[in-house]
A and B are shown apart, each in its own frame.
Chain A
Amino acid sequence: DAGITQSPRHKVTETGTPVTLRCHQTENHRYMYWYRQDPGHGLRLIHYSYGVKDTDKGEVSDGYSVSRSKTEDFLLTLESATSSQTSVYFCAINSGTGGFEAFFGQGTRLTVV
């Protein structure tokens, strides 16, 4: 398995509070992604990074921000959590060379009450 660790694995938070999810990789891969998974929607891209300090928006980026200060860490922040952000969040990585496949973390289940 690719060395991807997401933390926390589960979190319950209150509406309006800030939340940060962490993705840590040990593969030295260039690309890192944050997806959310919701029933009926599959996986939707929130943000992705193509290098340290280089990030870009995905299709559902509103209400989310990201940061990547080191190759191995990609943080997803919900500045003010809303109930619509209750979801399962997945981090993925891609080396940018070779096979082009993405490798996924185990996911973080976030509940906003």
Chain B
Amino acid sequence: AQSVTQPDIHITVSEGASLELRCNYSYGATPYLFWYVQSPGQGLQLLLKYFSGDTLVQGIKGFEAEFKRSQSSFNLRKPSVHWSDAAEYFCAVLPSGTYKYIFGTGTRLKVLA
């Protein structure tokens, strides 16, 4: 079955430290890949997306993600975290040929001052 795994439920980092959130998917072909962020009480906002081409994609708020086909991974990174980055982050895939998104269970990020 198609699935998306975010192995880290919670991550705590200090402000200014680097960040990497992991995402692995299970799907035969390369799907479309997304990262969303959700602040408390809000809807989901798109951070970045990957369809094809350059495997390192840039997004909003200084985030980037790297697609690695061999590892079926699409990890999200930020070189220096700001306190305002505290939120929940969701990885999602859209299998090619469908319009049904599959979401991971999310990673909640806490930022220490």
Given contacts A48-B99, A50-B99, A101-B34, contact A42 B104 (CB under 8 A): yes
* Cβ proximity bits B13-34 to A, threshold 8 Å, 1 near / 0 not: 0000000000000000000101
* Cβ proximity bits A40-80 to B, threshold 8 Å, 1 near / 0 not: 11111100101000000010000000000000000000000
User: How extensive is the interface on chain B, given as a class?
Assistant: 20 to 34
The main secondary structure of chain A at its interface with chain B is strand
B112 in contact (CB, < 8 A): no
Chain A interface, number of residues (Cβ within 8 angstroms)? 26
Contact, CB under 8 Å: B99 / A94: yes
Residue of A nearest to B94 (CB): A100
Given contacts A42-B104, A43-B90, A90-B43, contact A31 B99 (CB under 8 A): yes
- Most chain B CB inside 10 Å of its own CB: which residue of A96, A100, A107: A100
Which residues of B are interface residues toward A (Cβ below 8 A)? 6, 9, 32, 34, 36, 41-46, 49, 51, 90, 92, 94, 99-106
Chosen A-B contacts, 12 in total, with CB atoms closer than 8 Å, are: A42-B103, A42-B105, A43-B92, A44-B103, A45-B100, A50-B99, A92-B101, A104-B45, A106-B42, A106-B43, A107-B41, A107-B43
